[in-house]
């Protein structure tokens, strides 16, 4: 199993291009099932998760062709004919979001059998909301031996659905199913994340009729078919925020390009309060910090968008480990999402966790130690801490990192970080 080694103490200076958003790309990929015409996605990230989903789409008969185009990395999807509507556990378990193929398969063909998901261990995250919404659209659903079998032989039918709480996955999943349903569907208490806006706009370019983009009420008037399109994936706000935290932690000056800083304003507001300089540019943002000046502790509480993203909580906690004072971090989105705290403590961080609250008392220095990634966002928080830890920090289980960060060592290394990958066989890259 690969690991990453980081020698702390080097400032970061340079430029980091932000990749396309993983959380948008994988939903756009699922949406390509909805049309028999080609869909070209540009600004595509090349990640373990997008590879897993590409493999699953091929299982359904979708042609998936990766290439480098004039606008960078792109992938062409062509679901001319759906030859299978079975999504086996071996593929779905590798990534929770692949469960979201159920709705598009059902909408396109009238039937599907999809494994219940595996994925990150950050709380229960049941799929009940997804299945309830599909039932409301007229699907008949059965659970059997870890699989969901769904049929709608006469097609799906529009309905009014109010989610009991805001769910990104359920909003996206229901949206994709509803665009081919007969009649009108209204989704209330819909999530408003930028990735949902990206999906709505892409589906609209494919011929879907959707009103209320970027609001918590989406009205979908069903159409009989969708067409192909070319669509550029929005920048990854979590990657952008992670590198912003890395630059602030290490000190120096990093220019993030191909980025939209307005997508992480909740984070940058807290970073500015902590003493980081944030300067917007024409195509991104400059993050600057004088390492001679210690950051100040600030509190955060995770919220649904546009609040502070739960997917940036671990990175911000790493940033606070060496800040002056005590910061209180409230996790309001997912239970069990402080698993990085004990690993940060191995580097010398002073963190106490009680239920959904973590108190971080800043220390002057962190010291290198072997640590273990527990999930995708936790793994990058350990990288951020490793940038300042005295000595060489080794991070194990970095397959988590490869699910969501493209060429991380290359991007940080180009800014001066002493970071390298150690392959399972002991060779360095």
* 116 domain residue, yes or no: yes
Choose the final residue of a domain: 214, 232, 250.
232
Q: Domain check: are 303 and 277 in the same one? A: yes
Binding site per annotation, positions for phosphoenolpyruvate? 22-23
Could you list the active site residues?
120
| 351 assigned to some structural domain | yes
What is residue 348's three-state secondary structure? coil
Indicate if 64 and 194 belong to the same structural domain.
yes
Within this chain, do residues 312 and 301 fall inside the same structural domain, yes or no? yes
Assess whether 114 and 240 both reside in one domain: no
pLDDT along the chain (429 residues), means of 10: 95 98 97 98 96 96 95 95 96 87 98 81 68 97 94 97 95 98 98 98 98 98 98 98 98 97 97 98 97 96 96 98 98 91 98 96 98 90 98 95 94 98 79
Backbone angles phi, psi at 95, to 5 degrees: -160, 120
User: How does pLDDT run across 301-339, given as a tens digit for each residue?
Assistant: 999 999 999 999 999 999 999 999 999 999 999 888 999
Count structural domains, the chain: 2
CA nearest 337: which of 372, 361, 312?
Answer: 312
Domain check: are 70 and 197 in the same one?
Answer: yes
Range of the domain at 63: 22-232
CATH code of the domain in which 87 resides: 3.65.10.10
Token code pair at residue 106: 């059902």
pLDDT score for 122: 43
Annotated binding site: 22-23, 96, 125-129, 311, 333
Residue 34 and residue 8 share a domain: no
Residue 427 domain flag = no
- Which residue is associated with the tokens 């793994």? 379
Residue 367 near residue 338 (C-beta atoms within 8 A): no
- Residue 224 sits in the same domain as residue 299: no
The candidate with the shortest Cα–Cα distance to 320, out of 293, 290, 300, is 300
Asked if the structure places residue 429 within a domain, the reply is: no
Binding-site positions for UDP-N-acetyl-alpha-D-glucosamine read 96, 125-129, 311, 333
One domain, residues 69 and 123 = yes
Kind of pairing, strands 252-257 and 12-17?
A: parallel
pTM, to two decimals: 0.95
Domain end marker among 217, 232, 247: 232
226, 321: one domain:
no
């Amino acid at each position: 199993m690969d690991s990453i080694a980081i020698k702390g103490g080097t400032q970061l200076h340079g430029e980091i291009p932000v990749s396309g958003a993983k959380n948008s790309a994988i939903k756009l990929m699922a949406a390509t099932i909805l049309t028999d015409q080609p869909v070209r996605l540009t600004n595509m990230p090349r990640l373990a998760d997008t590879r897993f989903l590409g493999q699953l789409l091929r299982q359904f008969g979708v042609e998936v062709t990766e290439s480098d185009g004039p606008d960078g990395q792109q992938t062409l999807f062509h679901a001319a004919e759906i030859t299978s509507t079975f999504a086996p556990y071996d593929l779905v378990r590798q990534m929770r979001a692949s469960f979201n193929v159920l709705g598009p398969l059902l909408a396109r063909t009238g039937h599907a059998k999809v494994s219940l998901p595996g994925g990150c261990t950050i709380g229960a995250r049941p799929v009940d909301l997804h299945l309830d919404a599909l039932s409301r659209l007229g699907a008949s659903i059965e659970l059997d031996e870890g699989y969901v079998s769904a049929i709608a032989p006469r097609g799906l039918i529009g309905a009014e659905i109010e989610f009991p709480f805001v769910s990104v996955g359920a909003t996206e999943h229901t949206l994709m199913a509803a665009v081919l349903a007969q009649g009108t569907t209204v989704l209330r208490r819909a999530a408003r994340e930028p990735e949902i806006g990206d999906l709505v706009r892409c589906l609209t370019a494919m011929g879907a009729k959707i009103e209320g983009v970027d609001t918590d009420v989406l009205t979908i008037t069903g159409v009989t078919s969708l067409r192909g399109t070319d669509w550029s994936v929005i920048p990854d706000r979590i990657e952008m925020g992670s590198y912003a935290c890395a630059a602030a932690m290490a000190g120096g000056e990093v220019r993030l390009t191909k980025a939209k800083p307005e997508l992480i304003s909740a984070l940058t507001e807290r970073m500015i309060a902590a003493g980081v300089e944030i300067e917007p540019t024409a195509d991104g943002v400059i993050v600057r910090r004088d390492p001679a000046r210690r950051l100040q502790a600030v509190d955060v509480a995770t919220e649904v968008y546009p609040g502070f993203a739960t997917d940036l909580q671990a990175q911000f906690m790493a940033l606070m480990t060496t800040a002056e004072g005590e910061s209180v971090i409230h996790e309001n989105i997912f239970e069990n999402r402080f698993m990085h705290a004990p690993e940060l403590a191995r580097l010398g961080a002073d963190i106490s966790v009680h239920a959904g609250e973590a108190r971080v008392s800043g220390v002057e220095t962190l010291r290198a130690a072997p640590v273990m990634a527990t999930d995708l966002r936790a793994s990058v928080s350990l990288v951020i801490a490793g940038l300042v830890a005295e000595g060489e920090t080794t991070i194990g289980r970095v397959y988590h990192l490869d699910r969501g960060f493209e060429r991380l060592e290359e991007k940080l290394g180009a800014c001066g970080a002493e970071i390298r990958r150690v392959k399972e066989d002991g060779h360095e890259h």
